[in-house]
A and B are shown apart, each in its own frame.
Chain A
Amino acid sequence: MRIGIDVGGTNTDAVLMDGQSVLAAVKTATTRDVTSGINTALAELKRQRAFDPLAVNAVMIGTTHFINALVEADRLAPTAAVRLGLPATASLPPMVDWPERLVDAIAGRAYLCHGGHEFDGRHIAELREDEILRVAEELHRHEIRSVAISSVFSPVNAEFEQRAADILTGQLPAIAVSLSSEIGRMGLLERENATIINASLRELATQIVDGLSQSLEGAGISAPLYLSQNDGTLMDVDFARRYPVATFASGPTNSMRGAAFLSGVESCAVVDVGGTTSDIGVLQHGFPREATTEVSVAGIRTNFRMPDVLSLGIGGGSRIRGDGTVTVGPDSVGYRLADEALVFGGATLTATDVAVAAGRAVIGDPGLVKELDRSLVRAALDRIAREIGDAIERIRTSPEPLPVVAVGGGSILLPDEIGDSGPVHRPEHFAVANAIGAAIAQIGGEVDRIFPVEPGQRQAVLDDAKQEAVDKAIASGAKPGSVRVVEVDEVPLAYLPGNATRIRVKAVGDLQLEAGRG
């Protein structure tokens, strides 16, 4: 048995699953200290379905805690950034494009040292131990407890980041070190930004992970704890302590994966219609397609592995206007829906009202909208269907029709069929899709580097890259026979010799559940 828990800003949801079946599902309020909310959720689960804590093999938790801490600039540790790249890169030092407020919140200090690699693995400059030792003295003097290390082309070769980390920890054994090569992809500033953010969250990560472990222990559960990552795979608690930033987008990822699991389709578009917006993402073989562009988080450019989600200003509370052309949103009555919508006796025409008037759902008092102009109702619903349909068109990557899975309270706005996608899937229990997404998560391994591909060698290079990804997944705890390659992306690079090609491979497999845990 597994337990999946989703700690959102408002709700903490939990599910108890055995294989593919959901044995119990609960929704409770999130608490400021997180752990008491989890304790409540575990107790509720047990009340719904008595289980032996020792029969639980694994607990998977998805949390928005860390991204919220960044957005609120709250509880961030004093952090230093050390970049290895001199004499190159001096023009744009670390944190160059950050909002002032966040640099202040982490008391950010930046150090530039020699080092770094060229795209083909040559050294830009040798690492200088004396420079790193001087940085160590500075960190000590300023009482900095967490440091981010980045190096040019470290996705190609991470040796300098490793060596700098060894030198720093040799001097400052207690310092927390975050390496950019472990976190991001190509794009020095974006990867470095993600690493600095990670470093600033390290102390919070220790507190949270310890708290979560204690909650489980308190409930008598001795199974290993995992946290969900942005890409829908799991990390163990040791990794979570070191790389909290990898949880940033786990919320939407878990929600999409949970929805797909519930509806039984592996490749689909997931439309999550809330009160104000609709978020549309694509799952390929059960995993969200990731954004290829930079993502700004709290005003900082990063290249996190975030799901590619398109947001439209259409939700259950969207205002409908009918003078001339009928418009839907983007403004919404939001959480005041229960006061302002016509079906609740309010005075504002909302998307929910037209859905009720068309008989798609019974909400509030349908009698209050039965006098609505039929052509207005039809025009508004047509417009919603068209805009969502266009967004699905835009987000899919091939002309092949993609099944649509609709979740969220506002999904009553959607018609039964959209475009050429066939019938819209509407899974039950979507309210706890996030927690289910956490519970079904797998273990992943990824390779993302520039490879020289000599003529005739393409297949051999690809095979090597795939094997490396598979090995990484197994090393992270995947069951060997279950690992499969789910994504291969080749981008030939312009203006470079030897057909330099950036190859990205992702492999995932089932979590190796430890039998001895009973």
Chain B
Amino acid sequence: MSYTLEIHDLADLARGAALLGTGGGGDPYIGRLLVEQALRDGPGTITVLDPAELGDDDVVIPTAQMGAPTVMVEKIPRGDEAVAALRALEGHLGRRADATMPIECGGINSMIPLLVAARTGLPVVDADGMGRAFPELQMETFSVYGVPGSPLAIGGENGETVVIDTGADNKRLEWLARGIAIRLGGVAHIAEYAMSGADVKRTAVPNTLSLGLRIGRALRTAREEHRDPVAALADTMSGTLYDKVRVLFRGKVVDVERRTVAGFARGSATLAAFEGDGRLELVFQNENLVARVDGEIRCVVPDLICVLEADSGEPITTEGLRYGQRAVVVGISTPDLMRSPEALAVFGPHAFDLDVEFQPVEDLVSL
């Protein structure tokens, strides 16, 4: 069912989206402020549309931001770049969008489509193409199931737009778009993966905005009522497409190592158990990719590996990992849509050059 998102929902949504961002997805502060300000300034409200409510012929144009989150905190957008990208893609396609949609769950990219919605009055489809956060544009369930990213439109703050069409080659699309993002100052607002309502229903991970909102609310109320945040999280996930929640580890961060490889923040973190001498090793590239406990694999991308602050249940991003933090590491099963051989070829462990085979978290860790 469709519903209206209110200003006071945004903090919860940002928290839940950060959890689904599985360590990446960017700092939600600016993204949240952008949406709040757009709602305060304009007459707009944000209508969230269940994908089941889409007509098969409806046109859905997802919007997002790509580039360096570190730039976004300094060079704040003009505010209408993503709308300009959407309009440019509409012009290119010769069709108007009936709705926009996120391509990713995360602090920034769950918010950009809401900003577009608040500014245009378009509804936002309650779904996305990653079901979590990933570092590259081609890592989408849309592309896995045959929807091309092209044509892609980019909007800049001078009102300029660029349309890139690489046909079915999503990797080249990503490469060209990233080059333009750098010319635009390191961040670009984009509209891409235009598709029909039928394609949304077939290829998108459904109901992830609502799930983010429910997760954020559950973590907050658990904290307010001094309940266990992990139990609250498991309750929230039960009955959803992400219904297997496993505690992988409880411990203290004892080492964090980061380096930049080809523009990505790669690294690893080690946690030491609160009790006993067990260790968890976490490998990340913007997002968490693999968790091993005492050398044994416990959770692998694309399953979600979420690091939460032990007391508050607040999600910790890979950039925010610090020595001494007390954390709970949770593995969450991703929807079947994201575990198929085709999906694993695009965003499974091999796509990150990891010499590891995917195994479902529920097979690796018993309840």
Chain A residues proximal to chain B, CB less than 8 Å: 85-92, 96-97, 116, 118-119, 122, 124, 152-153, 186-189, 292, 301, 390, 393-399, 492-497, 499, 501-502
For A91, the chain B residues whose CB sits under 8 A away are 34, 37-38, 76-80
A88 and B77 contact, Cβ closer than 8 Å, known pairs A394-B326, A397-B324, A496-B186: yes
For A90, the chain B residues whose CB sits under 8 A away are 78-79
A88-B160 Cα distance, complex, nearest whole Å: 12
Q: Across the interface, name the chain A residue whose C-beta is closest to B67.
A: A495
Q: Which of B123-131, B214-222, B253-261, B333-341 contacts A (4 or more CB under 8 A)?
A: B253-261
For B30, the chain A residues whose CB sits under 8 A away are 92, 189
A308-B49 Cα distance, complex, nearest whole Å: 44
A494-B318 Cα distance, complex, nearest whole Å: 12
Q: Across the interface, name the chain A residue whose C-beta is closest to B40.
A: A96
Per-position contact with A for B67-102: 1 when CB-CB < 8 Å, else 0? Answer: 111110111111110000000000000000000000
A393 and B252 contact, Cβ closer than 8 Å, known pairs A88-B75, A495-B67: yes
A118-B183 Cα distance, complex, nearest whole Å: 9
For B43, the chain A residues whose CB sits under 8 A away are none
A396-B178 Cα distance, complex, nearest whole Å: 38
Q: Is the CB of A495 within 8 A of B76?
A: no
A295-B325 Cα distance, complex, nearest whole Å: 18
For B175, the chain A residues whose CB sits under 8 A away are none
A292-B79 Cα distance, complex, nearest whole Å: 28
Contact partner, A393, options B157, B258, B324, Cβ 8 Å = B324
Interface size on B, residues (CB 8 A): 41
Chain B residues proximal to chain A, CB less than 8 Å: 29-30, 33-34, 37-38, 67-71, 73-80, 157-159, 178, 181-182, 185-186, 252, 254, 258-260, 263-265, 286, 322-326
A390-B77 Cα distance, complex, nearest whole Å: 41
Q: Is the CB of A124 within 8 A of B74?
A: no
A397-B159 Cα distance, complex, nearest whole Å: 45
Closest 9 CB pairs of A and B: A91-B79, A492-B260, A495-B68, A494-B265, A394-B324, A118-B185, A89-B76, A88-B157, A87-B157
For B73, the chain A residues whose CB sits under 8 A away are 186-189
A495 and B75 contact, Cβ closer than 8 Å, known pairs A96-B33, A97-B33: no
For B286, the chain A residues whose CB sits under 8 A away are 494
A397-B324 Cα distance, complex, nearest whole Å: 7
Q: Is the CB of A186 within 8 A of B74?
A: yes
Q: Is the CB of B75 within 8 A of A89?
A: yes
For B79, the chain A residues whose CB sits under 8 A away are 90-92
For A153, the chain B residues whose CB sits under 8 A away are 74-75
A119-B186, A492-B260 given. 14 additional CB < 8 A pairs? A85-B76, A89-B78, A92-B30, A118-B185, A124-B185, A152-B74, A153-B74, A153-B75, A394-B325, A493-B70, A495-B69, A495-B264, A496-B182, A502-B70
Q: Across the interface, name the chain A residue whose C-beta is closest to B182.
A: A497
A124 and B157 contact, Cβ closer than 8 Å, known pairs A153-B75, A187-B74: yes
Contact partner, B75, options A188, A394, A496, A501, Cβ 8 Å = A188
Q: Is the CB of B254 within 8 A of A399?
A: yes
A87 and B78 contact, Cβ closer than 8 Å, known pairs A92-B34, A96-B37, A495-B67: yes
